[in-house]
A and B are shown apart, each in its own frame.
Chain A
Amino acid sequence: QQQVKQSPQSLIVQKGGISIINCAYENTAFDYFPWYQQFPGKGPALLIAIRPDVSEKKEGRFTISFNKSAKQFSLHIMDSQPGDSATYFCAARGGATNKLIFGTGTLLAVQP
């Protein structure tokens, strides 16, 4: 119940295309869903986050779509750029703890 399932494991997108990464969770006590971006040799950096009281949040080219009834959320990267090539992690937090439960990560490669 503590797991967050993330797919796909890897993704190749052409420059200018849309990258879509999906996550699913089981624990209905989760109330905070961030996405992190990690470049090689760096720690994860918060990209965007959403709470379950909204269905969508947009920040620049990055959008989170949230489906509470399906217990799924996804990251959309519009107009993907080579500089977006990184590993993306979804995460969830809630219940009686502040710890983040991470998905397994998606390695995104944006081809020029």
Chain B
Amino acid sequence: KAGVTQTPRYLIKTRGQQVTLSCSPISGHRSVSWYQQTPGQGLQFLFEYFSETQRNKGNFPGRFSGRQFSNSRSEMNVSTLELGDSALYLCASSWLSSRLTDTQYFGPGTRLTVL
């Protein structure tokens, strides 16, 4: 069974640009969460989608947005990039909406560098 895939794996952008990252969850998984990982702040939750609806949102500015499609694939978008947005963006998928079985499986991440 294929794991969580994220594209692209590496991305270089300049300040002010926008970027879209893609995540394909494990087949059958309906929940997708996004996390930002930086050396300074560690792993921080961005948002979670389930059945095309945003269920939870972390404490990030409105420049960070996401969506989920009917096939459970998800995208996140960051507009007006800032230097501080340089990070590893991780996507995690899980099976069901029930929290009791909600183990999250992470993808390899997209390394975003903002110059």
**Closest partner residue, chain B, to A104 (CB atom):** B42
Find residues 39-75 in chain B having any chain A CB closer than 8 Å to their own CB.
42-45, 48, 55-56, 58
B56 touching A97, Cβ below 8 Å: yes
A98 touching B105, Cβ below 8 Å: no
B108 touching A99, Cβ below 8 Å: no
How many A residues are at the interface, by size bracket?
A: 20 to 34
A44 touching B90, Cβ below 8 Å: yes
Question: For A89, A100, A105, which residue has the most chain B Cβ atoms within 10 angstroms?
Answer: A100
Find residues 12-56 in chain B having any chain A CB closer than 8 Å to their own CB.
31, 33, 35, 42-45, 48, 55-56
Q: Which A residues touch B35, using CB under 8 A? A: 100, 102
Report if A42 contacts B (CB, 8 A). Answer: yes
Q: B108: which of A34, A43, A98, A101 is its contact (CB, 8 Å)? A: A43
Report if A54 contacts B (CB, 8 A). Answer: no
A32 touching B108, Cβ below 8 Å: no
User: Residues of A at under 8 Å CB distance from B?
Assistant: 31-32, 34, 36, 41-46, 49, 89, 91, 93, 97-105
